[in-house]
Every structure is written in C-alpha cells, then in structure tokens.
Structure 1
C-alpha cells in the first residue's frame, strides 16, 4: 500500500513538472516575440528600406498571426482531447502530446531546411498549441488519485499550467542578458528533454486508465461526492455536512439504502440521500442557479439562453485576453507614446502573466465558496469592463499598469468561473461536452483577432483605441444581457424552495 501511495505522489509530481514546461507555454508569446524579431523571423516580408532589426507591419502581422492561430487551436482541441481521453485513456493522450512536442521541436530546430517546404515557425508553434491540451487535460484524472485532496491537486495542475508561460520569459532573459548565441534552434534542441520526460513517465509510472473522467472530477470538485453520489473513500463528510448529528443521520440512511436491491439496470441511477442533501444546499448557496438544467440532454442545454448568452460573453472575453497578449507592446507604445515605457510595461506583463494564476487561485477558490454564482459573475463582468476602460487611457503608465495587473488575475478567474458556471448550470453528465463545445467555439472565433490586428495596423494607423472601445462595448452589452437573464430566471423560481425528499429519484 505504501508503494502505491508513493507511486501516486510521483505521478502527481511528474504531471505538475511537465505541465509547468509544456501545458500553456504558447501563452508566453509576448516574451518570445522579441527573440523572433531579433532572429529575423519573417523579416524577408519587410521592405529593404526598413533596415535590419526593425519591425515592419507585414512582419508584425505575421508574428501575431502565429499566436492567434495557436490560441485558437489550443481551445478547439479541448473537445476532441476530452473524447480521446475518455476512449483511450490518459497514457495514450500523454504519448500523443509528447509526440506533438517532438514534432514542434523538429520544426524549430530545422527551420532553415524546412522553410522551402512550409512555414516551420507557424507549424512548430501550432504543434506546441495542440500538444498543450493533450498533456494537460490527461492529468485531470490524477485529481482522484488522492480523493480527499482532489481540490489541491487540481489547483497544483492549474497553477503549473498558468506558470508555464514563464518558460519563454526565462528564455528571453537568458538570450538578452547572458547567452546571445542561444538561438531558437538551440533552445528547442534543449527543450527535447521535455517530450522525452513525458514519454518516459507515460511508459513507466503513469496510469494506463483514468482514475476518473473529467465529468466525474467536476462532480467531485463541486459537490465533494463521487460519481455515484456517495462520500469519497476515507471522507467523513464533515466538509460538506458540518453538523455532526445531521451528518450521522444521513450516513445511517445511506448505509440502509446500500442493502436495498440493486437498481443499476434502470435508465438513470437513483440519487443518494447525501447527493439530494448536498445538491439542495448548493442550489441555495448558488442563489438558485445550481441544477437549473441538470438532467437535460446536451443538445437541449446548448439551445438554452443559459448556454448561448454565456458563449457570447466568453467569445469577447477570450478574444480580448489573447488579442492583448499578442499586441501588448504595440498597444502600449501608442497609448504611452514612449517606446521605453512600453518596453517596461511589456516586461512587467511577461513576469506577471505566469504569476497571475498561482497568486489568484486561492482567492478565486474562497470567492467561489462564499459567494453566490450571480454575484461571482457580476464581479467577473465588472472586472472585465474595468480592464477594458484602463486600456483606453492614453499617456498614463499607472492606469495601464493597473489594467495589466487586473488582466493577469482576471485570466485565471475567467476560466475558473466559466467552468464553475458550466458544471453548476449544465450538470456533470454533460459537462465535458458542453464546456468543451463552448471552449471550441471560442477558439474558432479567436481567429478574428488577426483581423482586428490588421485593422489596427492599417485602417487605424496603429491606434488601438477603436478596437478596444468596440470590445468594451460588446463586453458591457453581453454582460448586462446575461445578468438580466439570470436574474429574471431566479425571480421566476418559487420562493419557498425546500430540500428534496430523501426518496427522490431521477427518472
């Protein structure tokens, strides 16, 4: 037993290490971009009169397109990776991710030789983006390797994902200050250690089959109960039912029901007493939102305003986040009218982005635990609008810095709240499909950031104000629309809500 426990600790540790070095590194593009410019990537697109080392419009647009495509692909892959994980298990998913990282490295290492065949930088960075979800999502099932610590493990994995964008920041610091000969090809030669490490772990210590599916992990994270609505092994239930007498009474009823004839042949399983109790508490705690579409098919849920109104907000929110990551330097140069201050803000952003998730995760957890869903969404919407407004203020280093600090905290907050909303509104049976579809659609729409970037360079002569103002207005409109819809649905519900009876059954 001790060996098994040690092995599970090793599995979690290895997963955190490779997530730190591969899961979300594409979001460190702002730090990698200066190196690509210095290396002359796409400089052949510039007019010879521009001179060496100077960034031209065509080169800037092409470099930003790399990130736009990679951010799109990363989100699109959330849906197929979840399906592959459920069908073939985490080991196959991890090995696929490792193979994609190998191919990505090969493109960067052999860029000069491959340039005549295809665009090695575009292909290589896109492969990094595809690999990320394979190596990251396949780790979610480890949250149940220690069921009572599932929340901590999920936080560690998410923190590793958020921090992974720091890899290119470290590379840029090494390149600019100590090792100017550490060219892109040499860096990715060294980076081959990462896919080798992942492959070695998958073939040796990692589990072949999932401890739990993504849907089950979502249920554990929200309810504290396993997929059958029972207490997790070794859990006394004190975390979800504080009152000792009430807890013992419910557990006693639960144990009595275990002696009843098996009903597993029914179309849907009978809800446990604990599950009924917990879901009623969550329904009240969430302000009436929890369970609103539970039990409905995925197609019915997708057609509901609960889905498409959140989708509209998410489309703009994700677009704004990734558009800023790709264009932070050029936006700040125009707003501050000072290249040195813009570079300083860019450097601060590069450092804060990987720290944002790590620092904010505990506070996000506290907020979700102690605030109803509509209030949490209101905070999310308000923060999103505030960030947009700060990005409109010219000639102010302080206000732009505040906007950047808010953005790096807002990014993990946004992803966590949308995931939490999806699990509470749509339920756990369809969570993977509905949330995966939402991420996938957002990813496809994210390609429009390339069009926004082109308009900024050409139509608006590098002025980011018109695009940012449009995004703020859309954010405000969709935020208010979703808020009013949720509020109207809550007001329509009976005010004298009560707990469902212990013998409640899902039909």
Structure 2
C-alpha cells in the first residue's frame, strides 16, 4: 500500500473520531438532562417549590424548569437541521477544510458558554446559547466529512456508513458523562466536563491544518452518483476499473465497453455542446429504474423550481416534517412521557436509561439492515415499511401501564431514526437526481428543522393544557402521520401504476437510445 493510501486511511480515521465526539452530540440531551437538573440549571424558576432538602440526583422538576430545559433541545434540534442548507453551500464554495474549521470554532464557543455560564448569566442564557452552538458546529464538521468517501471510490459506501455510524453514536458522549457523574464523581460538573471537551475542537483544528486535504473532494451528489453507478462525474469508468463493479458478466461487460467507446467517439464527431450520457451510464440508470420499481429518474433533468412544485417533493416534505417532530419531541420529553404513561417514576427512569444506551447503539446496529433494504427492496416498498414503522411507533406511544409496549416503542424508534434519514436521502437522490440533490434535500431538511420549532409549543401544551398527559399530543401526531403516509403512498403508487399502464400500451416503441431499451438490450446479451 502506498504512503498516499496510508494518509487517506488516517484522514478517514480522524474524521470518524471527531464525528463520534461532535457530529450529533445534541441528540444525547436525554442523558445530559439529569445532570443539568442536578447542577441546578434553571432551578431559580422554581422558587415556590421546596427543593433544598432533596438529594441532588432526585430533585423534583417544576413545570417551568422542565419546559425551559426542553427548550434547549427544541431550539438546538431545529438549528442543526436548518444548518444543512448553508453548510452545504459553504462546503461546495469553500471546501471541507474551511467548513470543518468553522465547525470547530462553533464547538469551542459552545464549550466556552458552559464553562463561563456563571459569568455570562447576567447578559444572556449560556445554556441555550452553548447547546445551540453545538448544534451548529455538528453539521459543519459532519457534512464536511462526506467528501472523504471519494478517497477510496470503490469503498465509498463503507466510508459513508462508517461516518454515519459515528454520527449516530455521538449521542453516547453525554451518556458516558452521566454514568461517570452519577456513579463516580458528582463533583465533575459542567464546567470541568466542557473544559475537557475543548480537546475535541482542538483535535479537529489540528487535523485540518495538518493531515486533511487542502482541496475539496467531489460534491455530495457526485459521491452518491459514484457509489451507485461505479462511474466518475463525466460518466466514465473509474480509473483502473473495467466495469466489473457494475456488470460482473465478462461478455456483457465487453459489449458495454465497446458501445461506450463508440458513443464517446460519436459525441466528439457531432460536437454536442452538452455531454450525452454514455452507454454505461444509461445502462446503469436503466438498471436502477427497474430496481427501484420505477421511482428512479422520475424528475431527473427538471429544474429545481419544477421539482419543488411536484407532489413528489411536497408530500415527502410533509412526511419529513411530521416524522422529525415526532422523533425529537420524544427525545426531549421521554422522561415525563414515561412517568405519566407508566405511573411509576422508577420504571420511567429505567426506560430513560435504556433509551440513552439504545439511541446511539441503534443507529450502528441498524446500518447493515438499512443498507440491505435499500439495496434489495424497491423504493415504493421502502416507503411502505417506513410508513408502517412510523404509525406503529405512534400507536405504541399511546399505550399506558405497559413497560413492555413502551420498551418496544423505544426499540423501534432508535432503529426508525437512522432508517428515516437514510430513506429520505435515498428517495431524494432517486427521484430528483444527483444534479439537484444538495439543494432539494438540503431545503427539505432545512424546512423540517424550522417546523420542528413547533415542538416547543407541543411541549407547552403537554405541561399546561393537558397537565403532563402526553396522550392528546401523541394522538394528534398519530393522526397526521397516518394522513401524511397515506397521501404519499397513494400518490406514488397511483403514479407508478399509471406509468406502467402507459408503458405497456406503448410497447417500448421509443427511440433506441432510451434508458429502458438499453437495459432490456443488454440484459439479453
């Protein structure tokens, strides 16, 4: 192995390490919240309650304090999704090094807010500010790592899975801190922890200034295209690749390569101003269209404006908004929800502890299964599975006095969360195409993040209007989930069914260079 390859491996390892300690740490809020309570964060709003005599780890929450603590996560969860669009823009414009350095500065600033909280309190809220800074820094250092998938093009999928797994596991940081705080040293407070945490942004900064690449790797869309098609951005075979990655049959592959060369020569002779798809690229896209059940390529080549006006976009957007609110509302309020549903604080604490462990572990465990589903199941079937899980999780959140059903809901949720994010990005890639993926997907996540601010209103209603009873809010979420899933599935199913009927009447009479005909032609080779 060359020294250059060793450097690439070190780059991937460094990115995985810092993603593990920074990319999605805000989602470990359920584990951090007991420490915030023990440290007396916002305890001043409970002046009318007797709290001094209570042990530090069992102080009862007043409604005002609980809502204010939950607001920390509500704002941060919204911000981290809203940042997807500007981070993507800055990444494409200035490259991964600048993006990661900016992220490290946000992480350091977030730590400083917690470290200097007592001095900053007279001027602004350091806890909301610090956590919000973490939610901004996370996407910067995480999304900047996507381009490392092209360090080893044939292993791009594995590299992306590794980085994504580190993101899912990063919520375990606060779990580890809580275990140490409660069982080893309760004097290791927030100031000491976040002083130690400054090593993480320092590590990122040092890596960026030394080992990480100076120039930007291909954009997220190009990396996705590369990993799916086995081609480069121009539709050419990867350097040193004879097409085995996408066409294992030797005879068939040779025919494709010959046709590929002829098409390239024809393009040069006709001097077309716009690059025409190579035979191999069209062949792969035809394969993907068949494999996806007809979803792939539906809106490829359309303008962003046309794509955003399509039901393919706004129906998935509605589903994404509701799913994100459902997930983050549960993460922020799991303790109070389980206390009400189970009527037992000890069992609620037990479920909370289980959830703290399963949330980071669930993403890692689910990665191979999610990959298998996306690789072997049609896109419409993936949507059906996603919708089914979403509805089942919502139903389980309504069942009172059952530790088993609530535990099952948690188990499904920690698997559903990475499945949801991966399936939505996969849907966006297949439906809208690689050229507009960054804008379309980034805007979808951004809008979902803004709408996620409504989670704070749901939390307020739960605490005040419904007297800590989460059932009304969960019932509303169930109804809108059923509506959004039904509308999306009905549209996609009806559209694909109509296209299949139309294709059967046309009898494949389209021009010989169509993707479908190319697929059929080479399948019969």
Short-chain TM bin? over 0.9
Task: Write the distance in 2 (CA, Å) between the matches of 1:72 and 1:264.
Answer: 51
Counterpart of 1:74 in structure 2 is: 80
Equivalence map 1:123-272=2 (5 Å): 123-260=129-266, 262=268, 268-272=274-278
Counterpart of 2:344 in structure 1 is: 338
Shift of 1:211: 1.8
Task: Write the distance in 2 (CA, Å) between the matches of 1:264 and 1:348.
Answer: 64
1:274 corresponds to 2:274: no
Counterpart of 2:308 in structure 1 is: 302
1:375 corresponds to 2:381: yes
Shift of 1:159: 0.2
User: In the alignment, is the contact (CA less than 8 A) between 2:169 and 2:363 conserved in 1?
Assistant: yes
User: In the alignment, is the contact (CA less than 8 A) between 2:267 and 2:276 conserved in 1?
Assistant: no
Counterpart of 1:474 in structure 2 is: 480
User: In the alignment, is the contact (CA less than 8 A) between 2:49 and 2:62 conserved in 1?
Assistant: no
**TM-score, normalized by length of structure 1?**
0.97
Shift of 1:261: 5.8
Shift of 1:246: 1.1
Task: Write the distance in 2 (CA, Å) between the matches of 1:327 and 1:353.
Answer: 14
Task: Write the distance in 1 (CA, Å) between the matches of 2:240 and 2:509.
Answer: 26
User: In the alignment, is the contact (CA less than 8 A) between 2:264 and 2:278 conserved in 1?
Assistant: no
Q: Report the 3-state secondary structure (helix = DSSP H, G, I; strand = E; otherwise coil) of the residue aligned with 1:117.
A: coil
**TM-score, normalized by length of structure 2?**
0.94
User: In the alignment, is the contact (CA less than 8 A) between 2:154 and 2:227 conserved in 1?
Assistant: no
Counterpart of 2:4 in structure 1 is: 4
User: In the alignment, is the contact (CA less than 8 A) between 2:104 and 2:141 conserved in 1?
Assistant: yes
Counterpart of 1:287 in structure 2 is: 293
Task: Write the distance in 2 (CA, Å) between the matches of 1:263 and 1:19.
Answer: 48
Counterpart of 1:421 in structure 2 is: 427
Q: Report the 3-state secondary structure (helix = DSSP H, G, I; strand = E; otherwise coil) of the residue aligned with 1:225.
A: coil
Structure 1 residues 62-103: Cα deviation after superposition (integer angstroms, max 9, x where no partner): 110000000000000000000000000000001000111111
Counterpart of 2:33 in structure 1 is: 33
Shift of 1:499: 11
Q: Report the 3-state secondary structure (helix = DSSP H, G, I; strand = E; otherwise coil) of the residue aligned with 1:495.
A: helix
1:42 corresponds to 2:39: no
Task: Write the distance in 1 (CA, Å) between the matches of 2:460 and 2:5.
Answer: 54
Task: Write the distance in 2 (CA, Å) between the matches of 1:212 and 1:73.
Answer: 26
User: In the alignment, is the contact (CA less than 8 A) between 1:271 and 1:504 conserved in 2?
Assistant: no
Task: Write the distance in 2 (CA, Å) between the matches of 1:262 and 1:443.
Answer: 46
Structure 1 residues 4-55: Cα deviation after superposition (integer angstroms, max 9, x where no partner): 1111001000000000000000000000000000000001111333423321
Structure 1 residues 238-258: Cα deviation after superposition (integer angstroms, max 9, x where no partner): 332233211111012223444
Structure 1 residues 230-288: Cα deviation after superposition (integer angstroms, max 9, x where no partner): 22233333332233211111012223444456489855321011110011111111111
Q: Report the 3-state secondary structure (helix = DSSP H, G, I; strand = E; otherwise coil) of the residue aligned with 2:49.
A: helix
Q: Report the 3-state secondary structure (helix = DSSP H, G, I; strand = E; otherwise coil) of the residue aligned with 2:401.
A: coil
Shift of 1:498: 5.3
Task: Write the distance in 1 (CA, Å) between the matches of 2:349 and 2:341.
Answer: 12
Count matched residues: 505
Q: Report the 3-state secondary structure (helix = DSSP H, G, I; strand = E; otherwise coil) of the residue aligned with 1:107.
A: helix
User: In the alignment, is the contact (CA less than 8 A) between 1:263 and 1:270 conserved in 2?
Assistant: no
Equivalence map 1:450-465=2 (5 Å): 450-465=456-471
Task: Write the distance in 2 (CA, Å) between the matches of 1:465 and 1:170.
Answer: 31
Give unmatched runs, 5+ long, in structure 1: none
Equivalent position to 2:390, from 381, 384, 389 = 384
Task: Write the distance in 1 (CA, Å) between the matches of 2:205 and 2:367.
Answer: 29
User: In the alignment, is the contact (CA less than 8 A) between 1:166 and 1:354 conserved in 2?
Assistant: yes
Give unmatched runs, 5+ long, in structure 2: 53-58, 516-525
Shift of 1:501: 6.5
1:316 corresponds to 2:303: no
Q: CA RMSD in A?
A: 1.7
Q: Report the 3-state secondary structure (helix = DSSP H, G, I; strand = E; otherwise coil) of the residue aligned with 2:255.
A: helix
Shift of 1:396: 0.2
Counterpart of 2:56 in structure 1 is: none
User: In the alignment, is the contact (CA less than 8 A) between 2:153 and 2:227 conserved in 1?
Assistant: no
Task: Write the distance in 1 (CA, Å) between the matches of 2:104 and 2:271.
Answer: 40
Shift of 1:56: 0.7
Question: Quick one: structure 1 residues 467 and 171, their matched pair in 2 at CA, closer, same or farther if it must change by over 3 Å?
Answer: same
Question: Quick one: structure 1 residues 372 and 499, their matched pair in 2 at CA, closer, same or farther if it must change by over 3 Å?
Answer: farther
Counterpart of 2:16 in structure 1 is: 16
